[in-house]
Structure 1
Amino acid sequence: MCKKCFCSIVPPNVLSGLSKDGSEASKLALADLASLKLKREATLAGITKQAIVKGNTNRYVYDCQNSWQLRKELVRKEGEGPVADQQVNKVYEISGFMKDYLMNTFGYDSLDNNGMDLIFSVHYQDNYPNAFWDGDEMVFGDGDGKELIGFANSIDVIAHELMHGITQFTANLQYYGQPGALNEHFSDVFGTVIKQRLLKQTPSEADWLIGNDIIGPAFPGEALRSMKAPGSANIYDNQPDHMDNYYNGPKDNQGVHINSGIPNKAFYLATIQLGLDVTEKVWFQTLKKLWAIANFNDMVEKILEVTSDMIKNNEIPKNSLAIIEDAFSQVGLKADKLSLNYQIEISGGILPVNKVLEGEISDHELIRYVERNKMTDLTNPLLRDGQAYKFNLKTNKLKKEFTVDESSLDDHLKKIIDIAQKSNAL
C-alpha cells in the first residue's frame, strides 16, 4: 500500500495561499497534514495484515461534531432513511450512486472489488477546509464559511475521495511525483464522471470544474481545478496543461496536484470527441493495469493498449485510438512505443497495420494484398526460385526489414502483426 499517500482534495499550494491571505482555518489544516500522514501509515499497515473478506458495501455516515474524533456518532447507516443533516444525506446518496455506477458499468464491487463497507465522517474539526481519504474512510470538513464551504455537499469531491480508495486497491499509485499526479488524475476523472452521470450532463454541457461547489464568497476563483483549462480555476492554480510546463520542484509531494493538470486536459480532449461511454471504460480498465510507480508514459502506453484491445473486441468505435492518442499528443505526451499507426511497406505497396488490427482488413485479404505485391529478390540465394516478399516495419522508434520466402509467408505475417500488437516491447 502507498504509505506516503494522504489524499486530500484541496492542494497544499491553495491552503498555503489562503494562509498567507490570513485564513486561520487553512493554517490549521496545513499544520494537520503531518499528523494525518502518520495516521494513514498506521492505517495502511493494519490493512495489509487483514484477510480479504467479502462484504456487502454497506454505508456508514458518522458525525464528528466538529471534533478531531473520527466516527464519533453514527447518524445514518445502510437502509436507513434521510436525517435532518443534509450533508449526511448527500454523502449517503452520492456514495450510493457511485457504488451502483461501479457495479453496473464495470462489474466492480465497492472500493476493493470485494464489497468493502463505505465509511464517512462529516463535520470534521471546526471550520476544517479540506476533505481526504485516510486509507479506510472518507473525511469531510465544513470549511470556514468564507473561502471554502461544506465539502460533503459536493458531488465531485465525494466521488474524488472515493476514487482514491479504488486507486489504493488497484494500481496503488504512490503519492509523489508522476505516480502521485496520476493518483490525483484518476480521482479528478471519476469525480467529473460521477458528476456528469448524476446530473445527466453531456461532456459539452459539463463545466469540467473540480470543487466549484465548495467555493465560498471570499475565495479568489471559481473552483479548485479546471480539467478543461488547467491553471485557470483560481489565483493559486498553477497547473500546467502541457509537458513543456511540467513542474519539477519539491512542493506538493513533487507536484501531485499540480502536474495532474496535464493528463486531466488529455481526458477532457478525448471525452469531448468520444463521449463518456468510451473514455470512462478505457480509463478505468487502464487504472487496473497500472502499478505503484507508473509514470505518465506508462499510463499512455497502457491506455492505448487498452483502447486497441477494446477496438479489437468491438467495444468502442474504431476511431477511439487515433482520438485518444491525439489528445495526449496535444499535452506533450506522445506514445513513442505504442502506436498502431504502423505501416508495412510491401514491395512498392503500403499496408497500414492498424487497419488489420481493427478488423478492416481480414486475414484472407491480407494474404491477397501481399500476393499482389510479390517481388523478386535475385540477390538472396536462400530463397527458392528467387521468389520473395520484402517487408519494412516502421514505427516511431524502429525500422526493421524482413525478407521471407513463400513457404513461411503465413507465419511471417503473423509475426509482424504480433510485433505490432506487442509493440511496447520494441
Structure 2
Amino acid sequence: MTCLFVPPYLLEQIARSGGVGAAAARASATLSVDAQLRGQRAAQSRPTNAPSGTLVAVPGWTVHTADGSTTLPGRPVRAKGEPASGDDAVDEAADGIEGALRLFAEVFGRSSFDGAGAAVSLTVHYGRDYDNAFWDGAQLVFGDGDGEIFGRFTRPVDVLGHELTHAVTERSAALRYSGQSGALNESVSDVFGSCLKQWLLGQTVDEADWLIGAGLFVPGVRARGLRDMANPGTAYDDPRLGRDPQGASMDAYVETTDDNGGVHLNSGIANRAFHLSASAIGGRAWEGAGAIWYAALTGPDVGPDTDFAGFAAACVAAAGDHADVVGRAWETVGVTTASGSSSAAPTPTVPQESLVSVRRTGGFAGRTTEGTVDLGSHDARVPEVRELVDRIDLADVPGGDPHPDMFVYDFNLCGRCAKVPQQHLTPDLSRLAVLVLEA
C-alpha cells in the first residue's frame, strides 16, 4: 500500500485559495509529484499476523535523503546505532522510527511492520516544497513542506507513526483503501500515531491533546493540527485551508467518490470512537484502548472489507472487561454491530465533447483538486493536451485498488472516463494531470 499523509482535499483547497506567496503553486506541485509515484512498490508478501511475545527485538532502519529529488530511496545518511547527523529532518525521522518500532515491539509484541523483523527504510527531503508523507509498500517518505503552510513532515512524530501503521495494517488486516474499510485504515493509523506520541511523552489519556499533526503547520496558519480525534471537524479553520470537514458521527458520514470514498473525512467517526473508549477506560491509551484496537486489527475477525460495524464488533470482542464501554463508544458515534449500508457511487457527469477534465482526490490531507481544459479555446495548453488525449487509450490502464494516502485521479477525456489510482498512472496520464491541474 502507498499511503500519503496529507489528504488531497486539503492540498486542493490550498491550490484553489491562492493565498500569499507561492503556497497555491506549491500545493499543486505536490499533487503533481504524487501523480508520478507509480510502479515503485516492492512486491508484497501475504499479510502476516505474527504472535506477540514479551521479548521482541527492535529491527534495524536506515534513513536516506532524496536531496530534493523524487528518486527513491536516495542516499543513505543514518542507520540504527549511528549518532545524530545534524540534519533536522534526518534526525527527527531517526528518532521517530526508533520510537515507533520500540512501541510496537515493547508494547504490542510486534517486531517491525511485518511482524517478522523487517528492516525499515525511510527517505527525507523528498521533492521540492513537497507537502506530504507516505508509505509506498517499501519505503516511508517525507517531504519538507512548502514553508508557507506546511513545515517538515518529520517534525510531528505521530505523522511517522501514522505512516508506519499503514505498513502494519497492510501486513495484518489488509483493510481495503476505499469506503468504510479505507476510513478504518486511516483511523487505525491515527490511533497508533497518537499512541506513539502519548507513549513517548508518558501521557495519560487525560493529558494528551489528541491532535494528529500538531506542529505540522507553520506559524500564522489557523490550525491546531490536521485532525482532532476528540473533536473531529475542529482542527483548523483558515482561509487557505478552509474548515476541517471531518464528521464526528454516522450522521455526518459522507458518501462520495472523492478521496477513495471519503477515507480521510469519515475516519473521524472511528477516531472519536477510539477517543471515547480510551477516555472511559482511562490510564494510558496504549495499555487500554490501544491494546484492544491492536488485538482487533491483527485478529481473525477483521479483513480487507471489514466495515465500521464489523470493526466495532471485533473491538468489543477483544475488550474483555471493557466490552460495555467500548460498545457504548461505538454506539455514541452511531455504529452498531449491524452491517452498515453504503449507497452506490454517483455516475460521473460527462462534460462536453471538447472538454478534458481531471479530478484528483486522496492524499494524507484528503484534499480535492480539479481542472478543465477546453480544446476549443485559445488556452496555451491545448496543443499538448490534444496530442496526449489522442494517444491515450484508457482501456489499457490497469485497474486495482488505491493505496492509502496516495492520490486517485478521475479523467474525463472528451467523454471517455476512467478512475486511475496514482500507482497506475502512465507517463502520458501523469503529464496530462500536471497540465490540466496547473494553477
Q: Report % sequence identity.
A: 34
Q: How far does the alpha carbon of each residue in 1:189-245 deviate from its partner, in whole angstroms, 9 at most, with x for none?
A: 001100011011111111111111111134342211110111111234211111011
Give 1:287's aligned residue: 297
Contact conserved, 1:181 with 1:260, CA < 8 A, in 2? yes
Give 1:20's aligned residue: 16
Over 3 Å off, 4+ runs: 48-52
Q: Quote the offset at 1:92 in angstroms.
A: 1.0
Q: Quote the offset at 1:55 in angstroms.
A: 9.7
Q: Quote the offset at 1:325 in angstroms.
A: 0.7
Distance 2:7 2:35 in 1: 14
Aligned pairs for 1:29-178 (under 5 A) are 29-36=30-37, 38-39=38-39, 43-44=41-42, 46-48=43-45, 57-178=59-180
Q: Please state whether the residue corresponding to 1:128 is helix, strand or coil.
A: coil
Q: Please state whether the residue corresponding to 1:205 is helix, strand or coil.
A: coil
Distance 1:70 1:291 in 2: 30
Q: What 5-or-longer segments of structure 1 have no aligned partner?
A: 312-317, 338-426
Distance 2:130 2:34 in 1: 12
Which residue, 3, 7, 15 being the options, matches 1:11?
Answer: 7
Contact conserved, 1:196 with 1:206, CA < 8 A, in 2? yes
Change (3 A) 1:51 1:17: closer
Distance 2:69 2:275 in 1: 38
Q: Could you say which structure has the higher helix fraction?
A: 1
Q: Quote the offset at 1:48 in angstroms.
A: 3.8
Q: Quote the offset at 1:49 in angstroms.
A: 9.1
Q: Quote the offset at 1:33 in angstroms.
A: 3.1
Q: Quote the offset at 1:71 in angstroms.
A: 2.2
Contact conserved, 1:56 with 1:117, CA < 8 A, in 2? no
Which fold has the larger relative contact order, with Cα–Cα distance below 8 Å and residues 6 or more apart in sequence? Answer: 2
Distance 1:294 1:81 in 2: 43
Distance 2:336 2:306 in 1: 16
Distance 2:116 2:46 in 1: 16
Give 1:267's aligned residue: 274
> Which one-letter code corresponds to 1:304 in the other structure?
V
> Which one-letter code corresponds to 2:251 in the other structure?
D
1:257 aligns to 2:242 (yes or no): no
Distance 1:91 1:239 in 2: 28
RMSD: 2.1
Contact conserved, 1:17 with 1:236, CA < 8 A, in 2? no
Give 1:243's aligned residue: 250
If the length of structure 2 is used for normalisation, what is the TM-score?
Answer: 0.69
Contact conserved, 1:6 with 1:175, CA < 8 A, in 2? no
> Which one-letter code corresponds to 2:129 in the other structure?
N
Q: How far does the alpha carbon of each residue in 1:268-290 deviate from its partner, in whole angstroms, 9 at most, with x for none?
A: 11111213121111000100121
1:297 aligns to 2:298 (yes or no): no
Change (3 A) 1:298 1:49: closer
Give 1:403's aligned residue: none
Distance 2:57 2:187 in 1: 28
Q: Please state whether the residue corresponding to 2:123 is helix, strand or coil.
A: strand
Q: Quote the offset at 1:34 in angstroms.
A: 3.1
Change (3 A) 1:298 1:74: same
Distance 2:304 2:153 in 1: 28
Bigger-Rg structure (1/2): 1
Q: Quote the offset at 1:254 in angstroms.
A: 0.5
Contact conserved, 1:56 with 1:116, CA < 8 A, in 2? no
Q: How far does the alpha carbon of each residue in 1:315-374 deviate from its partner, in whole angstroms, 9 at most, with x for none?
A: xxx3x111111111110012349xxxxxxxxxxxxxxxxxxxxxxxxxxxxxxxxxxxxx
Distance 1:270 1:264 in 2: 10
Change (3 A) 1:147 1:81: same
Q: Quote the offset at 1:76 in angstroms.
A: 0.3
Q: Please state whether the residue corresponding to 2:248 is helix, strand or coil.
A: coil
Distance 1:209 1:51 in 2: 30
Aligned pairs for 1:391-406 (under 5 A) are none
Q: Please state whether the residue corresponding to 2:264 is helix, strand or coil.
A: coil
Distance 1:110 1:248 in 2: 35
Change (3 A) 1:51 1:6: closer
Deviates more, 1:9-18 or 1:26-35: 26-35
Q: How far does the alpha carbon of each residue in 1:62-120 deviate from its partner, in whole angstroms, 9 at most, with x for none?
A: 01111111222110012111111122111111211121121111211000001011111
